Amino acid sequence: MNAMNEKKINNNKKKCEFEFCKVCNLNHDKGHRHKYFPNHKKSLSAFLSRFQSKLADIRFFLKNPSVLRPEHASRNRFWCVFCDADIDEISSSFACANAINHLASEDHVKNLKHFLWKYGGEMNHMDAYRILEADVAKWEKNCKSLVNEAAPSNDRSNMLQVGPSNDIRNELKNKNINDFENCTFDPIKSNLSNGVMPLHYFTNEYQISHSGLSADTNVGPFVHDAIFSIPADAWISNDLAVDWNSQQPLPYKNLISSSDLSYRGVSQGYQGGGMVNGVTSSQGSHNITQTSATPPKKAGGNVHTGGPPPWFEATEENHLSAELKPISSSFISLSNKPGKKLNPKRVGAAWAERRKIELEMEKRGEIVKSDCDDNWLPNFGRVWQSGSRKESRKEFEKEKQKLPKVESHSEMPLKIKPYISKRMRRDASESE
Amino acid sequence: MSYVLTTLTKKKEIDSIIRDTIDKVLVLRFGRASDAGCLHLDDLLSKSAREVSKFATIALVDIDSEDVQVYIKYFDISLIPSTIFFFNAHHMKMDSGTADHTKWIGAFHTKQDFIDVVEAIFRGAMKGKMIVNCPLPQERIPKYQLLYKDL
């Protein structure tokens, strides 16, 4: 029996290093025992069911392969919890293609097994978290047939269309860059374009108006973060235009610099137009669209005339009333603290209550009997006292009376200190 | 000096500020405006006055004025600067390992030290304690020799 007890004790004494359980999202030092705890089991089932729901989406696409449009690509990211890896769909042509391939891969299966061992999942349900190779093969066949079906219906091959031809990220293939050779950007002329808003239009608008603008400087997609810091003086002359023509697919930076120029041109010509939408510019140099040609309404004002922003007007009433409320309530709370009950046991609570009442009465104009005479002293516990504070005050009163008598007989040697009170000397003489 | 903090020179003023500070810690610094130690402390006090303003009021008392002498005797002020804490007109003691628990003698090392001390006083007072322990470590508490009457 003793041996058994010892063994138990020994087992409990074994200490483990702290580990992180990503299912429960906490650190623990129980080592392998952790996965059998009920809390962990609960978290694990929740965790796996969440992942299962994501897998269900992917399985849907496994059965019904569909073409993946590039603009949807960014939405189709998938985090595999077993491999701790992000799987995105940037370069895939079918929905969830990368995810499907990942889930069928050997590495994933290995990671899955490791996870189940570590966190104690059901080993026989392993197939729920992976895709069998047979399914993948079927899926690929379906994909190919899709491609072949779509091909004859278009002049261009389907793959090209599916490929991100309009994708702004895919700059090399983009028509923009090819057009740079043809650009005839003239900074001086662009300065004169009036009534044009500073913002370039957004990507989707560019695509809409794409067909109409061939020779223009295509700076729309690249001006998301227009650089404002370039001073207006530093006009770059036609030299830059020359440089542009000589360079082949331009790296991103140079594109920004070109956009700056056009931006600058626009901003100098800006006169308080409207927002960004719609009508293309009449100036041939660049792709700035203009909102309605009607003059800006003067009633509301705008940033340049110093008018209030539209959201402010809308919420003005709410804002003002909201402002008033907190201020008034804070004033009240400062003086009274209604609703916030202070500890009745706090130091000097009785005094505080009495005093508050007195103050209120004074505010109302009543004359309060003030017990604050000239000889009032606060409640003070003295340094060398023993006993209650009232006693110390009595002592003090006694000493105050004795003071004029004792002053003349100071027997205690005067230690040179910045400030020595007579009371100390008196105390010394008294205690002796 | 401190333009933020009120300087009191009369007993009446001290009385009224003690009586009127309700549910907030009252920090009374006794000292001289010309003394270096006091200036150091005053600087700290005025800089942290705003930070503690919700639960503390700070005031300075000039010990050179006539009217105040009675308080100097009553509070046993022998070394300056001396800081005394009140809450609801009751005096708060703090045990910082020194001989004198009734007041704080000397300046503080940093604003934060001062704020910690005031906070400790406030917390103790709200719980009903009239003496609290000092939250600062020993090396940050200015040491001094207190005049002992029997020596």
Separation in Å, CA of A330 to nearest CA in chain B? 12
Integer Cα distance of B48 and B119 in angstroms: 12
Integer Cα distance of A347 and B124 in angstroms: 8
Pick from B15, B77, B126: CB nearest A343: B126
Structure pTM?
0.40
**Residue B25 in contact with residue B55, Cβ under 8 Å?**
yes
With cut-offs at 50, 70 and 90, classify the pLDDT of residue B150: very low
Angle formed at CA A329 by CA A339 and CA B57, multiple of 5 degrees: 80
Separation in Å, CA of B32 to nearest CA in chain A? 11
CB contact under 8 A, A421 and B73: yes
Beta-strand pair B131-133/B90-95: parallel
Separation in Å, CA of A322 to nearest CA in chain B? 23
Beta strands in A255-325 (DSSP E): 279-280, 289-290
Read off the pLDDT of residues A39-92 as tens digits, 9 standing for 90 and up: 999 999 998 898 888 888 888 888 887 777 766 666 667 788 888 888 877 777
CB contact under 8 A, A347 and B78: no
Read off the pLDDT of residues A380-415 as tens digits, 9 standing for 90 and up: 766 666 566 666 677 777 777 776 555 444 445 555
CB contact under 8 A, B79 and A417: yes
- Which residues 6+ apart lie within 8 Å of A29 measured at CB? A15, A16, A17, A18, A19
Instruction: Encode chain A (432 residues) as per-residue pLDDT tens digits.
Output: 665 655 555 555 567 788 888 888 889 888 888 888 999 999 999 988 988 888 888 888 888 877 777 666 666 677 888 888 888 777 777 777 888 888 888 888 898 888 888 888 777 778 888 888 888 888 888 888 888 887 665 544 444 444 444 555 555 554 555 555 555 555 555 555 555 555 555 555 555 554 444 444 444 444 444 444 444 444 444 444 444 444 444 444 444 444 444 444 444 444 444 444 444 444 445 566 666 555 545 455 667 777 777 776 555 555 554 444 444 444 444 444 444 677 778 888 888 888 888 888 888 877 666 655 667 777 776 666 656 666 667 777 777 777 655 544 444 555 565 676 777 666 666 665
CB contact under 8 A, B76 and A383: yes
CB contact under 8 A, A382 and B20: no
Alpha helix positions (H), A64-156: 70-73, 97-104, 106-119, 133-150
Integer Cα distance of A290 and B141 in angstroms: 70
Start-to-end C-alpha separation, chain B? 37
Q: Which residues of B touch A336 (CB under 8 A)?
A: none
